[in-house]
Structure 1
Amino acid sequence: MNGMLLQKLKDHFGHDSFRPGQEEVIRRVLNGRNVLALLATGGGKSVTYQLPALLLPGITVVVSPLISLMIDQVQQLRAKRKIAAAYINSTQDQGEAREIMQGLASRKYKLLYISPEKLQQPYIQSALRRVGVSLVAVDEAHCISQWGHDFRTDYLRLPDAIRQLGNPPVIAVTATATSDVRDEIRELLHIELDDVIVQPVNRANIALDLLSVQDEVERREQVIGLIDELKGPGIVYCSTRSAVEALVATYQLSGKKRVHGYHGGMDSMERMLIQTQYLSGELDVIIATNAFGMGIDKPDIRYVIHYQMPASLEAYAQEIGRVGRDGEPGYAVLFYVEDDWLIHQHMVEKEYPTQAQVARFCQWFAAGHPVNAEACAALEMSEEMVQMLTFYAQDASGRSEVAAAIDRTMETPRQIWLEMDRRKRLKMQKLHAMRLYIEESAECLRKKLNRYFSEEERRFSLHCCSRCGLDKQAYRGDRNTGAGNKDENVWNLRQALENLLPKKE
C-alpha cells in the first residue's frame, strides 16, 4: 500500500514524500474512518482527500465554501494533476448544470466540488446516490463553527445530507481551530477523538510584527509606504468594504505597484477575474476584506498587512498563513489604532437579532408566512439573520440529526433568543482575545498566538517577531512588475471571465 500511495503522490502531485500528517490522515480515510485533519496553512490539506479519491471506487464529494475556491481547485486538478473533477454552484446556467449531471451519471468524475447549500437539493442527492459516494470531504471545516450558526446554516445540515448519500466516510480539513471548534466539528460529523490529526499551527518562516499608530492618517501613510517597499506579492486586509475602497483609491493616486481591491460587495465574476489576475502575476497586491484568500494556491506571497485588527485570532492566523507557502521567509504586520475593536463590536451587534426581533420573526414563522425576501423586508432584517432564525425555529423532528449534534431544541422565542445571545457573547470573547494579543507587552507575539491554539511550538527561521527582534530590511526590496507567468490554464480562465463581465460603454 505504501508504495502505491507514494506512486500516486508522485504521478499526480509531483512529490516524492508526504508532508507531516498527510499519510496518517490518508490511511485512516482509506480504512473508512471519519477524520478531522488540522494541517497548517500550506501544509497540503487538499492532498488528504484528493489522493484517496483516486483510489476509492465511487466519487468524492468536496463541500467547499466559496465559488472562487471551487473554480480554482477544479482548474488545478484538471490542468496540473490530470484528475477528472467538476463543480456545481449557483453561477452555472442550466446547460452547464445539465452537462455536469450527465457527467456524474456516466461516472466521468472522481471529485465533485459543491456548496453546502447545493448539497441539500434532493435531485443532487439522488444523482449522487446512484453514482455512489465513497467519501465526503468538508474543506475549510472551521466554517462549520464560524459560519454555520450565523448565516450558512446548511453547514449544520451536513449530517442529514451525508445520511442521504448513504453515510460514506467523512474527512474534515482546516488549518486553524481551537479545542472548542474541534469539538464542535467532531460532534457534528461523528468523528472520534482518536481520529483527530493535529499538526502545529506555527509557521516558522513568517515573522510577526505589531505596530500601534495614532490615527487613520498615520496608518494610511505607513501602509502605503510599506506596500511600495516590501518585496514580492502581498495582501492587505481591511475590516470593512469602505476601508478597502478608500485605501485602493489613495494608493492608486501615488503608489508604484499594480493594486486592486476585493470585497464581498463586488460582482462575483469581477471578484473571480481579480483573483485570477493576482494568481497569474498580473497584480502585485490585493487590498481586501476577509472575503479574499481562502484556499488561494499562490506559494510566493511574501507579506500580509492587516490595516485594521481582525475580529478573532482564528481569522488572523488563517490570513497570515497565506504568506510563504513555498517555505521562503515572509512578513506579517498588524496595524492598530486604540479603538479599532469598536468596528467589530458594532458589526457583531448588527449581526444578531434583538429579543423583540426574534419574537416578531417567530410570530411570522408560526403564521405560516413564507421565509423569503418579502419576510426580510417585512421584518426589517437581513437575509442572513432571517436564514439563521429559520434554522432555529424549524421543528426539531425535521432536523433531528442537527438537533442531536448541537444538543439543543429551540421551541420558544425566548429559547431562540438565548441561543442568539450565547453565540454573540462567544464572538465578543474572541474579539476580547484579539484585543489581548495586541496589548503592549514584552511577551513574544508567536508565543501569545500559538498559546491561544494550545500549542507550544515556537520555532522560527529568519526572524521571530517585533518583540524578540526583527530586521525589517530583510523583507524590503524591488520586484519585477512584468506581466508574470501566463500559465495557459490561468490565462484561458482570465479571458473567459473577462468575456462574462458586462462591457462598459
Structure 2
Amino acid sequence: MNKQLMYDRFKQHFGYDSFRPGQESIIERLMDGRNVLGLLATGGGKSVTYQLPALLLPGLTIVVSPLISLMVDQVQQLRARKKIPATYLNSMQDATESREILKGISEGAYKLLYVSPEKLQQPYVQHVLNRAKVSLIAIDEAHCISQWGHDFRTDYLRLPEVVKQLGAPPVLAVTATATTAVREEICRLFSIEKEDVVIKSLNRSNIAYDLIEVTDESERRLFVFDQIDRLQGPGIVYCSTRQAVDVLAASYQLDGKRRVHGYHGGMNSMERMLIQSQFLAGELDVIIATNAFGMGIDKPDIRYVIHYQMPASLEAYAQEIGRIGRDGMPGYALLLFSWDDLQIHHHMLDKEYPTQAQVQKYEQLCNSGVPLTSEALAMMDISEEMSALLAFYTERVLSTYEVAATGESYPKAQIIWQETEKRKSFKQKKLAEMVSYVRGESCLRTSINTYFGEADKRFDRYCCTRCGLSKNAYFQTNDKTIVKNDQSKWNLRQALDTLLPNK
C-alpha cells in the first residue's frame, strides 16, 4: 500500500493531518485485503475507515446502512464537503430513480454506494454490482447482525451470503456497541481473524453521567422542561414511545423557550428528513425523539442527552449518549427512571414477540397460499415487524433444526414459537441488566464501561452523580441556580427484586 498516497487523499478530502486512534490500523488491514472488525467509540471516526479506502481501491465500495436518513446525510456530506462521488439505494426511491442510479454504478460514476440490507438482497441489484466489481463491503452499525445484540435485524443476518454472491470482497464491520458475545458472532459470520479485530477505548471521558429517580409523570415532565430551558444546547431528549414524544413536544412548544420538535418512526420519511436537516443546520435547539433518531448523526456540538424514560438495554443507552460532545467539549447525560418505565418495556416486548397462538395462525396463513398482506396480518394482530421476525425463523431456524435423538418431531409452529421466546427472554435479560445499572451504588462510568469490557475510566470535568457532579457547569452561563449534588435515595429495590431474583 502506498502510505503517502493514503495521507495525501486523507488531507485532500477530509482535511486532517493525522488519524484518530484505530483508523489507520483498520485501513491498512483493509488495503491488504483482510476482513476487519473495528470497535471505535461513538464519534470516533468510523466513517473514515471505509470512505478513505473507497478512494484508494479501484472498484466500488458498498456501505450497508440501517437507516435511510443516515444514508441521505452521509451522501450529502460526501458530495458537498469531501467531493467524493457517492450515492444511495433504498426502498423510498421509485423504479425510475433506482434504474438511473444502477446505470450510473454500471458506468463507474460512483466510488461509494450506501444501500439498505433489504435492497442489497435483490437479485438485479446484485447483478449490477457484480459487473461493477465491488472492492470493499462496509457494514455500519454491525451489531445489528448479531442475534445476541440489542438491535438485531433479520436482514442483516443474510449479509454473509450476499458477500459471497458479490465475489467475497474484503469486509469491514464497524460498531461502537458490542459485547464480547456480539464481537465473536460478527467475527464468525464474516471470517474475521482475532488479529484483525481493532478495539479502541470506548470510554467517553468528556461526558458526565447523571441519574435521577422520579415518582410521577407530572414531576418528570416539568423537570425535563426546566432542564431543556436551562441546559446549554443543542440537545436530544429520548422517549421510549411515540406517544410520549408527541405529548412532550406539543406541551413544551406551548410555553418553552427553545426551538423544539418531535421525531419518531410514525412520521413520514420526508418529515423526518426535514426535522433532521433543521437540527443539523442549527435551526432547532432540541429534538424529542424515540430511538429512531440519531444513529450516525454527524452533529459534533450536541451538549446533552436526556433519557425521559429508561432505555431497554445498556447497549441502547451507550449508543444514544454517545451522540454527546463529538467535538471533544464537555457534555452531560441525564437518565430519569421510575417503576413505570419497566411496565412500558414489558408491554413493548409483549407487542414485539408473538404468542403461541399467533405463530400457529401465521403458519396456517402461510400454508393457505393467501398473500401476507398488511390487512391479513392485522386481522391476526401481527405487525409487519413481527411478520418479518416470523419469516426469518421460518426460513432459517427450521432449515437447521435437528429432530431429537428419540425421533420425536414437533409442529413447526411450536419450534418457531420456542425460538422467538428465546429471543424475547434475551431481551428481558438486557432489560434486567439495565435495571441493575440504575439500582446500583457504584460509579456509573465504571459500571457501563465494565459491561463492555472497557478498562479506561478517565473523565475530564466530572465523572457521574455517584462520584460528585455539579450541574451548574452544564447550564447556560446566565443561569445562577445552585444545584445540590444529592445522592438519590432509591426506594424501588423491593419491587425491582422481582426482575433480578438471584441478585
Q: Do both share a fold (TM > 0.5)?
A: yes
- In 1, the alpha carbon distance for the partners of 2:206 and 2:151 equals 34
Higher relative contact order (CA 8 A, sep 6+): 1
2:78 aligns with 77
- In 1, the alpha carbon distance for the partners of 2:334 and 2:415 equals 42
- In 1, the alpha carbon distance for the partners of 2:148 and 2:447 equals 25
Q: Percent identity?
A: 63
The alpha-carbon deviation at position 116 of structure 1 amounts to: 0.3
1:447 aligns with 446
1:461 aligns with 460
2:412 aligns with 412
Q: From the superposition, tell whether residues 395 and 320 of structure 1 become closer, same or farther in structure 2 (CA, over 3 Å).
A: closer
5+ unaligned residues in a row in structure 1: which ranges? Answer: 405-409, 480-505
SS in 2 for 1:283: coil
2:90 aligns with 89
Q: What's the Cα RMSD here?
A: 2.1
1:36 aligns with 37
- In 1, the alpha carbon distance for the partners of 2:151 and 2:142 equals 15
Please state if 1:287 is matched with 2:307: no
**CA distances 1:344-381 after superposition (whole Å, capped 9, x unpaired):** 11111211111222222223323444333254134331
- In 2, the alpha carbon distance for the partners of 1:394 and 1:165 equals 22
**CA distances 1:131-190 after superposition (whole Å, capped 9, x unpaired):** 100111111111223799988422111112111111111111111111111122222222
- In 2, the alpha carbon distance for the partners of 1:369 and 1:23 equals 53
5+ unaligned residues in a row in structure 2: which ranges? Answer: 403-409, 479-503
Contact 2:221 2:248 in 1 (8 A): yes
**Residue correspondence of structure 1 range 149-168 to structure 2 within 5 A:** 152-168=153-169
2:208 aligns with 207
**Residue correspondence of structure 1 range 113-262 to structure 2 within 5 A:** 113-145=114-146, 152-262=153-263
- In 2, the alpha carbon distance for the partners of 1:166 and 1:226 equals 53
- In 2, the alpha carbon distance for the partners of 1:323 and 1:32 equals 34
Contact 1:393 1:411 in 2 (8 A): no
Q: How many residues align?
A: 471
Q: From the superposition, tell whether residues 220 and 167 of structure 1 become closer, same or farther in structure 2 (CA, over 3 Å).
A: same
Letter paired with 1:469? G
- In 2, the alpha carbon distance for the partners of 1:411 and 1:121 equals 31
**CA distances 1:225-254 after superposition (whole Å, capped 9, x unpaired):** 000000120000001111111111111111
1:269 aligns with 270
Contact 2:143 2:151 in 1 (8 A): no
1:423 aligns with 423
- In 2, the alpha carbon distance for the partners of 1:165 and 1:378 equals 39
- In 2, the alpha carbon distance for the partners of 1:154 and 1:316 equals 23
SS in 1 for 2:297: coil
- In 1, the alpha carbon distance for the partners of 2:177 and 2:294 equals 14
Q: From the superposition, tell whether residues 465 and 452 of structure 1 become closer, same or farther in structure 2 (CA, over 3 Å).
A: same
- In 1, the alpha carbon distance for the partners of 2:113 and 2:148 equals 22
- In 1, the alpha carbon distance for the partners of 2:127 and 2:91 equals 19
Q: From the superposition, tell whether residues 320 and 432 of structure 1 become closer, same or farther in structure 2 (CA, over 3 Å).
A: same
**CA distances 1:375-418 after superposition (whole Å, capped 9, x unpaired):** 41343311111111112212779x88xx99xxxxx982222111
Bigger CA drift: 195-204 or 317-326?
A: 195-204
- In 1, the alpha carbon distance for the partners of 2:397 and 2:177 equals 31
TM-score (norm 1): 0.89
2:482 aligns with none
**CA distances 1:45-66 after superposition (whole Å, capped 9, x unpaired):** 0000111111111100110001
Contact 2:245 2:288 in 1 (8 A): yes
User: Runs of 4+ in structure 1 displaced over 6 angstroms?
Assistant: 146-151
Contact 2:210 2:465 in 1 (8 A): yes
SS in 2 for 1:222: helix
